[in-house]
Amino acid sequence: MPLPNEPSNSIGHVGLSRDSELAAELGEFDYYPPSPADANDFDDIPAEELPGADDLGAPIETVYSVDGSRVEVTIGDERRNKRVGFIDIALVELNLAILDAQAKHAFVSPSKVANLGETHHVRMVLPSTNTLLDSESTHESWRQMTYRNFRSKGVFDTTLFTLYHDLLKRKGRLDSHGRLRLEYCPAPDCEHQQLFVNSSTPDQCPECGVTTYPTDALRVHERVTGSQSNEAALNVLMGIIEHLVLLGAAHDIWMSDPAGLERTAFIKDGPLAQFDTGAWIHEPIHNRIGEFKQYLRADGRSPLVYIGIHKTGDFAAYAESVRDYLDGPTVLPFSNDDIYEYVIAGDRTKDYAYKTYYGKNFLYKSGKGSGSGHVLAFLIPRQYEEGDLATKEGDIVQDVDAYDELARTISVLERILTIQYRDGLIPLVLAHEAASIPEALGRIVLGTLAEVMSEASEEET
Ligand SMILES: [Zn+2]
């Protein structure tokens, strides 16, 4: 996760060059920063001409923001290479009235978090290298612990499992008896495919008898190894939980006061997209958000504001490269052609990231900010040409006029930009601060904690 107090990423800047993996990936792309002349040719839309700009609708009172971090620590004797993974997801509930009062201050200190809003955490521990939990492999221990965490952790009154089970249903993963279809048996040495198991409780593979868990459908365990670092698996799982937590905040409002959705904004650190084995959840999440949007529209209310922010990666780098050439406040929509021409090389005949994204990319250049102004690569939920707001069918709607939440979205972004951090959004700064497990401290404190726990469990057995 990016640190908000780092310089903005751009080619040649510290933040990006330190991340050699990212730099290597960028090197693989055809990357053409436009010349100033080209940039001036962009079809950007001045803020006052955006859909919905003539009436911004119900004022946003609350912003929910989410960010996560994860760390893998060695416990005990280094030579035994025993590791445990930790995930901390922070959901910050920010009262915008209080923020407006604070806005006169240039700096938002982390110590002021308590005054600005409330922070909720979803924290979990996962077995990693050479660590077992009532089973014979790290792989199986991971699956069991994921299920236990989903059952016991949640957002307000809703468990992660309830949110997850709803996604399974929406994705058509349950049969008419509510049985869950798993594409593969989770046991690495069993070749059984397309098995149906209990979707709410642990069950068994009919072929090999291994215990299955409803959360096996996320298939993160396929990234787990018994002897190597499991940071890749932790990253995938953390991403999935970030989506669930933000969706859970919306679900909570939906359950208690659905009209309150029009006075709330939701912001995720990172794109509205899920990658790797859990990518399938992007579609039922889109469906769920689409239903919120449909309700608001049918009830004559203001459009939902649900945002993802690219803090690193190609879109953020691209935003940096055009910063000086756009006059804010203005929005640059990204068509497929724009993305493939300027940001990431790819097959132009296909919609960008069709199988992973539920957000559509835009770029916002603020009229404010130091230097030549804040610039943000952001996303809002996609719309598709066939079907309604909640249906993913056909190509992505490119016509900007269809996205009637754009003006509202921009006005929220403008309100929560901080001058302390270039391109920094206060709710994301707070969520990041709250979720950060400082690497060194985390290793010491969590490592000690894990050691104490493992000693206790060894004494028990
Ligand atoms: Zn099996």
CA of 148 to the centre of ligand 1 (A): 21
CA of 143 to the centre of ligand 1 (A): 14
CA of 144 to the centre of ligand 1 (A): 15
Sign of CA dihedral 247, 253, 254, 258: negative
Phi, psi for 350 (deg, rounded to 5): -110, 150
CA of 190 to the centre of ligand 1 (A): 5
Mean pLDDT of 73-93: 85
| 3-class DSSP assignment, residue 205 | coil
Residue 25 has pLDDT above 80, yes or no: no
Residues whose beta carbons lie less than 5 angstroms from ion ligand 1: 185, 187, 190, 192, 205, 207-208
Q: Are the CB atoms for 202 and 213 separated by under 8 Å?
A: yes
- The tokens for 54 are 């003539």
Condensed to tens digits (0 to 9), the pLDDT of residues 293-343 reads 999 999 999 999 999 999 999 999 999 988 888 888 999 998 888 888 888
CA of 175 to the centre of ligand 1 (A): 19
End-to-end CA distance of the chain: 38
CA of 237 to the centre of ligand 1 (A): 23
Condensed to tens digits (0 to 9), the pLDDT of residues 238-249 reads 999 999 999 999
Name the band, by pLDDT with cuts 50, 70 and 90, for residue 107. low
| 3-class DSSP assignment, residue 325 | helix
- 137/304 Cα distance (integer angstroms): 44
CA of 313 to the centre of ligand 1 (A): 39
CA of 29 to the centre of ligand 1 (A): 40
102 vs 399, more confident: 399
Burial of 51: CB neighbours in 10 Å, binned 0-12, 13-18, 19+: middle
Residue 175 has pLDDT above 50, yes or no: yes
Whether pTM exceeds 0.95: no
- 319/372 Cα distance (integer angstroms): 12
Mean pLDDT of 440-459: 64
- 285/337 Cα distance (integer angstroms): 26
CA of 188 to the centre of ligand 1 (A): 8
CA of 133 to the centre of ligand 1 (A): 20
114 vs 249, more confident: 249
Burial of 189: CB neighbours in 10 Å, binned 0-12, 13-18, 19+: exposed
